[in-house]
Amino acid sequence: MPAVTARRSSKKPASKKRSSKKPVAVARAGSAQKSTRATASGKASGRTAQLTYFFAPGETEGDGSMKSLLGGKGANLAAMTSIGLPVPPGFTITTDVCNAYYASGSRMPRELAPQLDAAVKRLEKITGKKFGDRKAPLLVSVRSGARDSMPGMMDTILNLGLNDETVGALVTATGNPRFAWDCYRRFVQMYGDVVMGVQKRHDIEHEPFDAVMDALKHERGVQEDTHLDTGALQELVGRFKALIKERTGSAFPQDPRKQLEGSITAVFRSWMNDRAIVYRQKYRIPAEWGTAVNVQSMVFGNMGDDSGTGVAFTRDPATGENVLYGEYLVNAQGEDVVAGVRTPLPVAEMAHDPKIGGAYKQLLKVRKTLEKNFGDVQDFEFTIERKKLYMLQTRNGKRTALAYVRIAHDMVKERLMTADHALASSDPEAMNQLLQPVFERGAYAAAQRDGRVLTKGLAAGPGAASGEAVFSPARAVEWAAKGRRVVLCRVETSPEDLRGMIAAEGILTARGGVSSHAALVARQMGKVCVAGAGELSINYHAGTMTCNGRVVREGDHLSINGTTGEVIVGLIPTADSELKQVLIQRTMKPADSAVYGYYAFVMGLADKARTLGLRTNADGPEQTRNAIAFGAEGIGLTRTEHMFFEGNRIDAVRAMILAGDDAARASALAEIQVFMRSDFEAMFRVLEGRPACIRLLDPPLHEFLPHTQAQQADLAAKLGIHADRIAERVHALHEANPMLGFRGCRLGIVHPEITIMQARAIFEAAAAVKRSGTPVSPEVMVPLTGFAGEVKDQIALVRREAETIMEREGVRFKYLLGTMIEVPRGALTANEIAKEAEFFSFGTNDLTQTGLGISRDDSNMFTAPYLEKGIFKANPFESIDQVGVGELVRIACERGRATRPDIKLGVCGEHGGDPASIAFFQACGLHYVSCSPFRLPVARLAAGKAAVLAKRAAAASTKKPASKKPASKKPAPKAKRKP
Amino acid sequence: MPAVTARRSSKKPASKKRSSKKPVAVARAGSAQKSTRATASGKASGRTAQLTYFFAPGETEGDGSMKSLLGGKGANLAAMTSIGLPVPPGFTITTDVCNAYYASGSRMPRELAPQLDAAVKRLEKITGKKFGDRKAPLLVSVRSGARDSMPGMMDTILNLGLNDETVGALVTATGNPRFAWDCYRRFVQMYGDVVMGVQKRHDIEHEPFDAVMDALKHERGVQEDTHLDTGALQELVGRFKALIKERTGSAFPQDPRKQLEGSITAVFRSWMNDRAIVYRQKYRIPAEWGTAVNVQSMVFGNMGDDSGTGVAFTRDPATGENVLYGEYLVNAQGEDVVAGVRTPLPVAEMAHDPKIGGAYKQLLKVRKTLEKNFGDVQDFEFTIERKKLYMLQTRNGKRTALAYVRIAHDMVKERLMTADHALASSDPEAMNQLLQPVFERGAYAAAQRDGRVLTKGLAAGPGAASGEAVFSPARAVEWAAKGRRVVLCRVETSPEDLRGMIAAEGILTARGGVSSHAALVARQMGKVCVAGAGELSINYHAGTMTCNGRVVREGDHLSINGTTGEVIVGLIPTADSELKQVLIQRTMKPADSAVYGYYAFVMGLADKARTLGLRTNADGPEQTRNAIAFGAEGIGLTRTEHMFFEGNRIDAVRAMILAGDDAARASALAEIQVFMRSDFEAMFRVLEGRPACIRLLDPPLHEFLPHTQAQQADLAAKLGIHADRIAERVHALHEANPMLGFRGCRLGIVHPEITIMQARAIFEAAAAVKRSGTPVSPEVMVPLTGFAGEVKDQIALVRREAETIMEREGVRFKYLLGTMIEVPRGALTANEIAKEAEFFSFGTNDLTQTGLGISRDDSNMFTAPYLEKGIFKANPFESIDQVGVGELVRIACERGRATRPDIKLGVCGEHGGDPASIAFFQACGLHYVSCSPFRLPVARLAAGKAAVLAKRAAAASTKKPASKKPASKKPAPKAKRKP
């Protein structure tokens, strides 16, 4: 025993804190925290992680697959070098170094310095130049490079290695003193700004380096930078150095090795600058990725008219056309193109420029090489130094949705791109662009220019809408019936507004988030919508909408941009998308469309790849038809209550709720049953045997009753009852938290007659359609289940009706009875519930509300600060919270399958149309996702992408353990596709 | 490979369904489902389960511990036989038979018949009598016997074995033909009714056997049953048999073996009769327990004046006094005592009855033997047959709370009862009886008799209150200040009503459940409350409360019974409980109380046994003081917002919410900080170093603003701002689902200044108290955490203030910073959250609301039907839903401990005072429970009971596996007690 104690206590000193000033260790690992841990073991095993990766012909250490370690730029520089493209040699410092830097409180890992020395030495050897050498000085650029490109977000240093001595060598080498001193001047300025942090002292001060230069130009009497002669530039360098000393207290370092260290640190620092943080938030890039740093020997595009620099795409990124697309500047460095001081020429002009020699032909060859080797459109930077072409960077080109589908179509057909890559590299969300009506470009720009943008809300339903402002659904219907285009403006919307929303071109609300009723309905209908424009004050009584002192009256022209959230005064003409004209209106032949063929090709790729089935949330035959046109393989959610608001139907529903006795209630139910049955019949006919998952009545009954005195009086007159009775019932049904109240299956359990009526409507419709020769496949879904007993109770009622009706009508068809999993208890007791339910459909909207304890209608007050503080990684109502809500989904899948291995699993919450969520559902092994009809192109592509990425991940994970020991785990079973 | 296939397919026939008519097999197992499964393996192993257990001197197979197999009655008959008490011999048919009977669709298991034959044969041998024997017929009783006594719920058959022939033997044996025929007549009647199901044809028909007898009495011209002579009884038997044949189509069976089978089946059937189901629901007895059947040879208390029958308690079950307590009837059978036809005599009278010989002395000896052997007060049945005493049944006696504490005190001191048994057998809930003010008995009975009961609501705060009805808190305060006793009647209550609630004798609401604000506050304050009396219509404007046409006006006398839910018109005098007079008012010396000494003794037993710490939910020094008097070891929850409603404090809170600028807000916050600090100081002083867990502001801000126009105008005048501003702010803060809205830590994250102010108030108070020499132990709790980032954010703010203040004040004390776990995501991510939080306190109220997706305020509409249908096993807001919500608690404990092994775990939801929930928390290994001050006696006893039961369960589980293989699992570590 004493031995153990002794050993323990002897361990203690080893775990004492690091002394605070020493550099820290680093080792290969994903996250900062892991790094720290990995270090200790790395040290123990005696291996030191490789922190720099060299690239030069025949000496390249990295490759194109190493983006997480080398960043996108570094990996692709290695790849281009390997395939023989003319890349100036250099090396990449890994992202691990960046992570170690931040993990240790902004200190460089101690292993970096020796490796940096070695890499510089190697670069000197290859280039035959030397840091600080008076004859052949090595000059380098230092650039950031994250895993995903973050263009312009981080810092870059050019011409590093210049100092008071090496500048002379550059004079000699180029025979151009003005050029050499201009390079030096730029370097000092850039270094002073980026590395040493010379900044404006206050907002009204001019940028200090510019001020110094302007003063000199004034002294010398010149207008343009380019008119400053060599002497003036020498003077300028001196004044810049003085400025640096004055502002920072430190001198500009003459030692290139020091310059290099400073520059690397500056790039790491810029990973955490405000711009970069905001960018990462927007594009959901984890801070843990870190940035790499690329150190590359300089080439000069500004050595004269036989030199130049440019950026280009291998194809047109806006239209997808198969042409080299880009621009270049003669006698310029990269930053000049970006700065926009001079106007660049289209890259095709190079063909006619004899001074650059064969560089253009070289460029055309490079274009082919790039596409062939990278398998995608490349967005690249090049420099021509005295007729010789150099490649400085390449990456997959960002493109519009139109360009995406065209390029995918063309390159897959040309066998330049794999179908897998076409899907894996897609941005499914962008498919929306193909569906949006758009403002006529010129008029839109004019409106923005003229200050007609009133305010900005949430971009809730993409697209553009223009029309007369109305403030009531009734007015919207009335005016639309007369052919007037209206924009419905409401404080917020409710199911009662549905007809008005349908009639309107677009919907604008002052309250509510991206998942509010307005936004949800808008997306489901593909309606343009700006929601939650909080600056608006809408006064129904006065018929006005006020915003910052400006007043919009009923009938005033108003335009809204559901893609940007802008609310604009006045009319802006719009045009419908071609896809809708082909698929929905059928006013355009597929062959006449410039988009449709490409779109259909890409959807075909997705369909071939995906293992997830695809359904839609649709509440009537029209929506169902549209959804099928967009690729739906069935209905994942029909909300029966949405049928209640057409025509005078709501009166019967209200009569049911207000019924004073059983007879009155039975008669109201009979009336409802008739119209529900006819709706279901129409839907079954459109579906032609595709499954239809129908949810039993879900919302609390008070949602169907009028709430104002006037409306109640109207209804009382209509039903021939006393208004007090209505007020009393509304009062009795009032709830503190309707979301958690008397709704879902709770209604059907307390009022079985409502469930029975619905079951009859569904199965009588199904029997009728089946008898007429069309197959049917109804699925009935019990909402809001938390207890197995609830499903058992409701399913028994529905099954009895189904069997009775099939018996009576003399037909048989298969049907499924299942439930929504949308409260945590339902997920946790899925093993019990699966004894009763044949399928689960995850209602992730409510599961998010209950799992997180957050009402989506009330989350506006804190969502923005939560996103800013990083408490939310993403808005949980837009993209599923994989950690918390996702765990409930995983638990429910696992437990449901344990009881009933063939249980059908799907999702019908809003997340069913979100690409990140779809990838998650793929991983959970769901059978299908369901989303609103106009989200289908997004979901379809996302499902294809998710399948490809899952396949790749599975391949990668079976590869890895194989090297250690025989794979002990089977790969996750591929979900069987049954929508 | 083919071999595998062949083997598989050869297996199939074995799994085919049982043919449907054969009797089924049975084996020992807990539940019906398990039985079915266990059968197969039992069969395979060749063992047949023992289905009957014999009891007779020297031949007893069961014992007192086998209650789950033999039922309480069967186990105790075996026990009494074993200790030599005079029990007529017989045998018990096990509960497994009952479960097998139900599991197989009401068929007897096939193994029963041979075992039954054997048992009958054995009984015949011992008694020297025979079924159907003309000379010495065996007569038996057949009685139900569940694990827990369910008095009167199930069926009983006496005198079984009588038929047309054996009745003659009884004539001979007793020399009393009338007696013999009366027995036969009773048996035929009972058998026809219970076994053969002769019932009334419709409600207005008389009970058919009674009708036949009445007709005969009319014919014979007699009034009383006892005046029917032997001939008449013979005639009656004939008529009864005819009635049976007519009504059931079957003849009364003459074969005793058939009679026995029928009776056993009837007893099993009665397990599922309506009464039994309702009873089990009420007392939470699982249907899976099943009932046993006891077949026992008959003894006759109706053989003359030297015979008799009686029931008795070994001590007085109402007062606990150490005297034999009970009643008996001379010349009677058991059913006569129950039927109440004749008035029984006090059992002490037996001492003076020479005809029964030494039976009374025997009884006094039996009393001692019973208490000594059963270790508790016994409630027993006896019969004297010709001077000889027979024991027919014994069980632990039910008793009032007063009797419970007195008996526990006395018997533990007398070493007749173990402390463990005193705790394990307790009903902690009943401790409430010791705290309730009660109506003066006579006046109460009169009120009920006179039809003054207006309606019934939920019994939300136990006790009785009487006073003048008032409809506003202001009026309650005003009248109470004048010494008037008032009952506050509200539609529902909110924190604004608090002062009125304090002033009132009792609280009555028309809306809200047992966990509504009114009920919660009432319980916390020990206030009488009837909640959710839905028939009441309260009109504040008119100052009236209407119910079924009766009107109560302000100032009218009203009484409410919080134990029954009754609302009664008029005044009924009440008296306070002694415990409160001793502990709270301190107007009575402990020694003067008839209760206190016993109570304190029992609490001492609980304190010795329990491993759970005990805290209280208290919001001020007064409540804290009361709680400590009741045994609290610290505060588990202080709701800071409850401090906001005293005096004019609310004005500062409102000023904070309505502040137009930072300065105004800061000034309001400073004002709030002052009074909070003073409250905390007072509480720390009372606590004297006990821990105080303080929750940061939790409710949504709109709860603090006035909602009516008039109130808003008042406030505007007071604050000197425009009323529109208030309306605007109220409108802006309005929420669709406030429960899931902008509250909890969300407030503090968006408005850090509110958190900082609270931290300052807490730590300045703690520092001041510490400096004055009193130790302090503050704990600050972040509410409604779902994301680790939330806790991190809030804890950082609080810690900074704590450190700053300790530094500034020059004191140091320990404090803990932790969080409430009350949304599912918080539980699921407890591993992450535990990195930040030093303790978890489970807010099981909100965890139930979110985990189940049920708003407690809105659950009234479906709670009753859910309980009726068995979907809820218990109201989940009263007793924790162990399956769903409980799983979240277990997950959180497990994950929290994985990250931080010494994390402190407690519960502060309402469930912290519920005995069943406390047992669950004990099993989870929580460190403490917290409940409102007046729930403490219940919780304290429940914690003691839970510890004893856990200890027993652990002992049982280590015993079991030991017989199979060495215990591989360590027993769960005993939770360390740190409140």
Residues of B with Cβ-Cβ distance to A735 under 8 angstroms:
855, 857-858
Active site residue A517: yes
Mutate to test the interface with A, among B724, B787, B866, B880 (most CBs of A within 10 A): B787
How many residues does this entry show for chain A? 979
Q: Which of A136-150, A250-264, A824-838 has the lowest mean pLDDT?
A: A136-150
Q: For residue B521, what pLDDT is reported?
A: 76
Confidence of residue B44 (pLDDT cuts 50, 70, 90): very low
For residue A741, is pLDDT > 60?
yes
Alpha-carbon distance A240 to A246, whole Å? 10
Whether the predicted interface score ipTM is above 0.90: no
A853, B786: Cβ pair inside 8 Å?
Answer: yes
Q: For residue A331, what pLDDT is reported?
A: 87
Q: For residue B724, what pLDDT is reported?
A: 87
Residue B269, C-beta contacts closer than 8 angstroms, at least 6 positions apart = B106, B155
Confidence of residue B33 (pLDDT cuts 50, 70, 90): very low
Over residues A175-191, the mean pLDDT reads 92
Q: pLDDT tens across A929-942, in order? A: 999 999 999 999 99
Q: Judging by beta carbons within 10 Å of its beta carbon (0-12, 13-18, 19+), is residue A124 exposed, middle or buried?
A: middle
Q: Which residue has the higher pLDDT, A436 or B840?
A: B840
Q: Which of A40-54, A122-136, B233-247, B492-506 has the lowest mean pLDDT?
A: A40-54
Kindly report the three-state secondary structure assignment for every residue of A409-420: HHHHHCCCCCHH
B824, A822: Cβ pair inside 8 Å?
Answer: no
Q: pLDDT tens across A29-50, in order? A: 444 343 333 343 334 445 678 9
For A858, which of B742, B846, B859 is closest by C-beta distance? B742
| Residue-averaged pLDDT of chain A | 88
Edge-to-edge order in the sheet of strand A544-547? A537-539, A544-547, A550-553
CB B332 within 8 A of CB B340: no
For residue B391, is pLDDT > 60?
yes
Confidence of residue B338 (pLDDT cuts 50, 70, 90): low
For residue A656, is pLDDT > 70?
yes
Q: Which residue has the higher pLDDT, B513 or B704?
A: B704
Which range in B434-443, B444-453, B777-786 is most confidently predicted, on average pLDDT? B777-786
Element (H, E) at B667: helix B662-687
Confidence of residue A17 (pLDDT cuts 50, 70, 90): very low
Residue with tokens 């677009």: A506
End-to-end CA distance of chain A: 64
Within A363-435, strands assigned E span: 378-385, 388-396
Relative to beta strand B635-639, strand B691-695 is: parallel
Q: For residue A7, what pLDDT is reported?
A: 37
| CA torsion through residues A541, A542, A548, A550, sign | positive
Q: Judging by beta carbons within 10 Å of its beta carbon (0-12, 13-18, 19+), is residue B188 exposed, middle or buried?
A: buried
DSSP code for B157? E
Confidence of residue B523 (pLDDT cuts 50, 70, 90): low
Residue B127, C-beta contacts closer than 8 angstroms, at least 6 positions apart = B89, B138, B297
For residue A523, is pLDDT > 70?
no
Q: pLDDT tens across B883-927, in order? A: 999 999 999 999 999 999 999 999 998 899 999 999 999 999 999
For residue B2, is pLDDT > 60?
no
Cα distances (angstroms) measured from residue B10 to each of A529, B3, B4, B37, B45: 65, 10, 10, 21, 21
- Quickly list H helices, A557-707: 578-583, 596-609, 621-629, 649-658, 662-687
Q: For residue A969, what pLDDT is reported?
A: 45
Confidence of residue B223 (pLDDT cuts 50, 70, 90): confident
Alpha-carbon distance A398 to A386, whole Å? 30
Q: For residue B969, what pLDDT is reported?
A: 45
By annotation, the residues of B acting in catalysis are: 517, 908
Cα distances (angstroms) measured from residue B179 to each of A242, B168, B255, B304: 130, 11, 21, 9
Over residues B696-720, the mean pLDDT reads 89
For residue B866, is pLDDT > 50?
yes
Instruction: For A854, name the nearest residue in chain B, comparing CA atoms only.
Output: B740
Confidence of residue A971 (pLDDT cuts 50, 70, 90): very low
Q: Which of A183, A409, A489, A517 is labelled catalytic?
A: A517
Mutate to test the interface with A, among B657, B740, B745, B888 (most CBs of A within 10 A): B740
What are A884's strand-pairing partners? none
Q: What percentage of chain B reaches a pLDDT higher than 90?
A: 66
- What is the widest separation between alpha-carbon atoms in chain A? 105
For residue B764, is pLDDT > 90?
yes
Confidence of residue A203 (pLDDT cuts 50, 70, 90): low
Alpha-carbon distance A537 to A546, whole Å? 5
Q: For residue A19, what pLDDT is reported?
A: 40
Q: For residue A642, what pLDDT is reported?
A: 83
End-to-end CA distance of chain B: 63
Q: pLDDT tens across A304-313, in order? A: 889 999 989 9
Residue A154, C-beta contacts closer than 8 angstroms, at least 6 positions apart = A144, A146, A267, A270, A271, A273, A276, A291
For residue B290, is pLDDT > 90?
yes
What are A469's strand-pairing partners? A487
Confidence of residue A545 (pLDDT cuts 50, 70, 90): very high
For residue A8, is pLDDT > 50?
no
Paired tokens of A14: 């080893």
A737, B737: Cβ pair inside 8 Å?
Answer: yes
Q: pLDDT tens across A758-774, in order? A: 999 999 999 999 999 99
CB B470 within 8 A of CB B486: yes
B63: left (phi over 0), alpha (psi -120 to 50) or beta: beta
Alpha-carbon distance A662 to A670, whole Å? 12
Edge-to-edge order in the sheet of strand B388-396? B345-346, B325-330, B308-313, B378-385, B388-396
Q: Which of A529, A547, A908, A924 is labelled catalytic?
A: A908
For residue A965, is pLDDT > 70?
no
B888, A824: Cβ pair inside 8 Å?
Answer: yes
Inter-axis angle of helices B256-270 and B95-103, nearest 10: 80
What are A328's strand-pairing partners? A310, A345
Nearest 5°: the CA angle A842, A848, A854 is 155
| CA torsion through residues A259, A265, A271, A272, sign | negative
For residue B34, is pLDDT > 50?
no
Kindly report the three-state secondary structure assignment for every residue of A838-886: CEEEECHHHHHHHHHCCCHHHCHHHHHHHHHCCCCCCCCCCCCCCCCHH
Alpha-carbon distance B464 to A196, whole Å? 79
Mutate to test the interface with B, among A33, A795, A825 (most CBs of B within 10 A): A825
Alpha-carbon distance A866 to A854, whole Å? 13
For B869, which of A735, A793, A822 is closest by C-beta distance? A793
DSSP string, A530-541: EE--TT-EEETT
Over residues B865-869, the mean pLDDT reads 90
CB B101 within 8 A of CB B268: yes
Q: Which residue has the higher pLDDT, A756 or A974?
A: A756
Q: For residue A534, what pLDDT is reported?
A: 85
For residue B155, is pLDDT > 50?
yes
Instruction: For A748, name the nearest residue in chain B, comparing CA atoms only.
Output: B862
Confidence of residue A868 (pLDDT cuts 50, 70, 90): confident
Confidence of residue B18 (pLDDT cuts 50, 70, 90): very low
A887, B740: Cβ pair inside 8 Å?
Answer: no
Q: What percentage of chain A reaches a pLDDT higher than 90?
A: 66
CA of B823 to nearest chain A CA: how many angstroms apart?
6
Torsion angle, alpha carbons of A678, A684, A686, A692, to 10: 120
Element (H, E) at A308: strand A308-313
| Residue-averaged pLDDT of chain B | 88
Nearest 5°: the CA angle B937, B941, B945 is 165
Q: For residue A638, what pLDDT is reported?
A: 96
For residue B40, is pLDDT > 90?
no
Q: What percentage of chain A reaches a pLDDT higher than 70?
A: 90
Over residues B719-736, the mean pLDDT reads 88
For residue A663, is pLDDT > 70?
yes
Alpha-carbon distance A840 to A893, whole Å? 9
Backbone angles phi, psi at B732, to 5 degrees: -65, -35
Alpha-carbon distance B830 to A883, whole Å? 11
Q: For residue A337, what pLDDT is reported?
A: 61
Residues of B with Cβ-Cβ distance to A739 under 8 angstroms:
736-737, 740, 853, 855
For residue A914, is pLDDT > 60?
yes
Q: For residue B592, what pLDDT is reported?
A: 86
Over residues B501-506, the mean pLDDT reads 91
Over residues B643-670, the mean pLDDT reads 88
Residue A344, C-beta contacts closer than 8 angstroms, at least 6 positions apart = A310, A327, A328, A329, A337
CA of B978 to nearest chain A CA: how many angstroms apart?
28
The closest alpha carbon to B639, from B686, B701, B697, belongs to B697
Q: pLDDT tens across A22-31, in order? A: 445 554 444 4
DSSP string, B533-570: -TT-EEETTTTEEEETTEEEETT-EEEEETTTTEEEES
Relative to beta strand A816-821, strand A777-782 is: parallel
For residue A342, is pLDDT > 50?
yes
